[in-house]
Amino acid sequence: MNTFFHANRPRLLAGLSVLLLTAACASTSPKSAAQIQADSVLADKVENALDNDPLHFFRHVDVQADDGKVSLSGYVWSNASIVQAERVASHVPGVISVSDQLELERAGSAAGGSSGR
């Protein structure tokens, strides 16, 4: 058995190193109250910008922000609305990137917008 560990020691050490590195990367330090507040303010700004769009209805879009990275989820009624939501969000000051997990409503169409208002 001693021979097994001796012969495979480089592989075991490499595997352990990968495991430790993965664990170190997975753990992040908690956010400060100021960072949490800044994320909330940015999400609110993006939501307001979406709500002020004159052509598209974005009331079913949820916005989350994390250090300038904005995530959009929920549903809209057209492909054009998805594109516009990304465009509007990306133009809000402080937004670094936009991740889109928006879905089309079942009754949605592949073209055109819906004001829904």
The answer for residues whose C-beta is within 8 angstroms of residue 109's C-beta and 6 or more apart is: 77, 78
Share of the chain above pLDDT 70, in %: 67
Q: How do residues 20-76 score in pLDDT, each as one tens digit?
A: 555 555 556 799 999 999 999 999 999 999 999 999 999 999 999 999 999 999 999
Question: In the chain, where are the structural domains located?
Answer: 33-109
Between 35 and 9, the higher pLDDT residue: 35
Contact 69, 96 (CB under 8 A): yes
Q: Could you tell me the fold of the domain covering 33-109?
A: Histidine-containing Protein; Chain: A; (3.30.1340)
pTM: 0.68
Apex CA 9: angle with CA 5 and CA 13, to 5°? 130
